[in-house]
Amino acid sequence: MKLRIRTLKGFFVKEIIQIMRDPKMIMAIFFIPVIQTVMFGLALTSEVKNIKLGVASNPGKIARELENRALASGWFVKVPGINGAQVADPAELIAAHRAEAVLVAPPEGFEKALERGDRSIQLLLNATNAQRAQQVNGYVQQIVAEVAAANGYNTGGGLIRLDMRVLFNHYMDTTSFMIPALLVMSAFIVLLVVGGMALAKEKETGTMEKLIASPCSVEEIMLGKTLPYFVIGLCIVGLILFIGVAGFGIPFRGGLWQIGVNSVLFAVSALASALLISTVVRTQQQAMMASVLDLMPAILLSGVFFPVANIPVLFRWMCYVNPMMYSVVNFRSVILKGGDLAYFWQNCGWLALLSVVLCALAYKNFKSKLN
């Protein structure tokens, strides 16, 4: 079959013109790759940053040097109210998300312990993120070695040993860390894409006018279109959680009621985002494109693949207005650590606030389109 160059050229020019006339298409083509490249380039790094390190010890030279060298390295940040004092239960600091790692001295302090021949320093480590925990351990070992060398404890019988105690993920299993995040990501993708197409389909097929002309109120239309997907979202959460626990053997240390509360708030926020998208598009294709535009930054800025602490401050504020981030953090905390209640309700509060804001915007936008 002979291809005609002039015909192909005509089609090519026509398609380019159509693309250039559609701002949404231009955004979909260029925005997604740019955002993906920038986010991965800035945040996806092997270097671990902003590690909350506590030094639980009576005030002394060794404790002070450990803290100063850790802060000077650029890897660690100070944990207020911990360093320079003995703590009744250092593990509680990690359980309450106040610290990621804690160097624990004997009751009499580092100096007196070293004088009586005790050359071990205990390191308590949050290992929910196994890869991050291994790197934190390496950084702490380097800091301890530097302090030991500076004080003459790096040779012979004077060698200081770092005694690591792993919390919440004893086998350093990456699967246990990823399953709770994949749970959120899978449900979010389904709810955003399918939910966003719900009202768009009514517009495209012309049945929206019939719904508007019916005795149904705006609230009834919005709830009626989203409730089925709300139930579907909860089912997805339950299914993936069951697969993770029964199939992959991830630990489940929290309460089912915490999973339920977090799932409901998360599903509401995801569907509110979907409704907001559906109010500004006209076709299912546009709804799909808008959902993809929302999905990429939402996933990258949620902590699913790399810690929020690794994201530059310039972009980090976007994480805190992202409902996915609070959902991921809560699911990981509840499933792997048992879910500290104060921390859990704090995240639920922010998630509820974002849900209310998104619902209000979707409702206002939907109602304005009817007038």
Interval 178-193: pLDDT, tens: 888 888 888 888 888 8
| Residues sharing a CB contact under 8 Å with residue 33, sequence separation 6 or more, in sequence order | none
Query: What pLDDT score does 217 carry?
Result: 76
Band of pLDDT at residue 24, cut at 50, 70 and 90:
low
Q: Which amino acid is at 155?
A: T
pLDDT tens for 44-53 read: 555 677 788 8
CATH number of 51-167: 3.40.50
The tokens 């959120």 sit on which residue?
184
Round to whole Å and give the CA distance between 128 and 203.
Answer: 45
Token match 């030279």: residue?
Answer: 61
Question: How high is the pLDDT of residue 243?
Answer: 87
What letter does residue 320 receive in the DSSP assignment? T
Please report, for residues 111, 169, 171, 275, 288, the alpha-carbon distance to residue 165 in angstroms, rounded to integers and kept in the order given: 22, 11, 12, 47, 47
Residues contacting 199, CB < 8 A, separation 6+ = 208, 225, 275, 278, 279, 366
8 Å CB contact between 253 and 336:
yes
- 353 has pLDDT over 90: yes
Residue spans of the domains in the chain: they are 51-167, 174-370
DSSP code for 151:
T
